[in-house]
Chains A and B, each alone.
Chain A
Amino acid sequence: MKSRTPVFAVCFILVFVPLILFLLSGNALADALSDAIQKAITEGKIDAGAKPGYLGIPGGSDVSYIIGFLWAIWVGWIFSSVGAFGGIMAGVGHITVFGLGDYAKSFGKGDLLNKAITDSIRVSNQWLVGLSAFISSLNYYRMGRLVLPLGVCLAIGSILGSYLVPYLTAGKINLSAYLGYFGVVVFIIGGFLFYETTPRGQARKKEAKAAATAFEKSIKDKGEGRQVPAGVKVSNWGVSRIRFSFYGVEFSFSPIVPVIGGFAIAAVASFIGVGGGFLFVPFLTSIAGLPMFLVAGTSALTVLIGMIVSIFTYMVTQEVIVDWGLIGIELIGIFVGSMIGPRTSKYIPDIWLKRIFVLLALYVGILYTTKGFFGRSWLPPF
């Protein structure tokens, strides 16, 4: 119980202070975009008298909210039925389906509007993930599942990554570069999904299920079983290694591992505009070998902290803006899709769903990496 007060204090400082600062300073937000628009008008790239479109840019791409809604249903469906790929599909929507990628590209490499729209796509993706991370973290706090030592180590790395990436890259990344790296991340997620469909991945899943069932049975047979010292005991709290035991089972991690991991994952997430939860959970369970109890809440909190720092840095210090209406309609679509998902996915075996999305990841990955790094897509739409 004693650990909760500092946990809450740290969370409050890390999470809410940047948020409040961001909201306090709302009026400077459009300045960078206004400058970019003025420059484009001066250079004759846009007509000042044209009807305002996306982000109020005269003659800007007119994003259809109906298409936004329908695409978000698809995103929500994937989220709920496959358990991955939702953030990527939200990005594909912003870049390709809503036409924002081609619109940004039309201003040419190095143009301020190109970079402003690219940044807006990144931040829009993050808002969608950030809102849910916020709710999850609140729930985990209520459950008492936020853990200070691990959370602090992860948060240090995460804050650094989430601050440095927007600071160093906002207003500097062209759409083509963003597309290339986005494609690489799609390949990584596709790789995770692919592993789960391989005989080895399937066998490990089956083994775990069988072992869990066997344990459940043995517990029933044995009754109370062997009693070991209860609770959490931190045996070593050092710079090189933190050791602790849960009910006599020893766990240890080097503090530098979550710091570096938190930094790397938050940097990738902030650059691409995704949450990073898909990387935190396997990182903490597989590499750090920590229990689900610690992983779930701590990774949600780390995603949230990284997300807020990243959004704050993009929107306040780098003056990136988003289309609130589009985010609103996407939230509705994600909700509708997530309600449909569980009702339809039961008709498709889990492994086939994953296989379909491995193919989709391959397609999207090739599409974006080639378009981004080679200037021309190898797959349609060219």
Chain B
Amino acid sequence: MWPAFIDAFLIFWYRIPQNPWAGFCLGTSVLALLCVLAGEFTLSLGYLVNRRKITGDSRDMVAMHNLSVRALEVGDEPGYKACNKVANEAFGRAFFMQIALAAATLWPVPWALHWMGKRFGAVEFPMPLSVPAVGDHVSYAFMFLLFYVLARIGFKSIRHKMPYFGRFHRSLLEEKAKIPAYRSFPGFGRGDG
């Protein structure tokens, strides 16, 4: 089901080094990086299309939540309950948008696992030691996840210097600045409390 040119492009990187382990590391790094870039690009499209809605929902949720914290501060329990109920509705709207953005970021991962399953499904990657109930080898899925996590960490550290993603990241920070800060309950969170 994979078009030949995509398969050829992805496997190309695995075949550059002579050493099979080096080839696997290079190929999987490229695959993981492509997944991160494709996911982040889709996320940026989502933001561009629905920027107002995303910011609006988040602002409503935080504002109403902060108001409920304020109600607690002044000991107004009915006020707190009312604000909490409205905040829950705002949370619902923001939550579903968050799911959409999660889908935007992660959609390439199952595809990568699908492709790797076709290419490396039968390969057993030996571990230096045997883990009880697991055995002495790992699957392609574990190897991919490892490279994917590293690729995400790497991307996060350099995105602000990248041509398109740097601009998007800056605009995202500007949008976030428009949303009031979360007031959290001291002792439970990281907020200003």
Taking Cβ atoms with an 8 Å cutoff, the residues of A that contact B are 1, 3-4, 20-21, 23-27, 29, 65, 76, 79-80, 83, 86, 127, 131-132, 134-136, 139, 142-145, 147, 204-205, 207-212, 214-216, 218-219, 222, 225-228, 230-232, 246-249, 281, 285, 291-296, 323-325, 327-328, 331-332, 334-335, 338-339, 342-343
Contact = CB atoms under 8 A, between A and B. Distances in A.
A332 B107 contact: yes
Given A216-B67, A249-B75, A332-B103, A342 B53 contact: yes
Contacts of A248: 72, 75
B12 interface: no
11 contacts: A24-B142, A26-B142, A135-B106, A136-B98, A142-B190, A211-B78, A212-B67, A212-B82, A247-B75, A324-B111, A338-B99
Given A208-B86, A211-B78, A296-B91, A23 B114 contact: no
A210 B184 CA distance: 24
Contact of A83 (B96, B127, B134): B96
Contacts of A147: 188
Nearest to B142: A23
Given A143-B182, A208-B86, 14 more contacts: A135-B98, A135-B106, A145-B188, A212-B85, A215-B67, A228-B75, A230-B186, A246-B185, A249-B75, A249-B77, A328-B111, A331-B110, A339-B46, A342-B53
B110 A79 contact: no
Q: Closest 8 A-B residue pairs measured CB to CB? A: A26-B139, A144-B189, A338-B100, A211-B82, A144-B190, A215-B79, A135-B102, A328-B110
B22 interface: no
Nearest to B73: A247
Interface residues of B, number: 77
Please report whether the interface of chain A is mostly helix, strand, loop or mixed according to DSSP. helix
Interface string B88-113: 11011101111111111111111101
A139 B106 contact: no
A136 B100 CA distance: 11
Nearest to B57: A342
Please report whether the interface of chain B is mostly helix, strand, loop or mixed according to DSSP. helix
B74 A226 contact: yes
B72 A247 contact: yes
B73 A293 contact: no
A131 B82 CA distance: 32
A243 B113 CA distance: 47
Contacts of B49: 339
B100 A334 contact: yes
B186 A232 contact: yes
Contact of B185 (A23, A132, A215, A232): A232
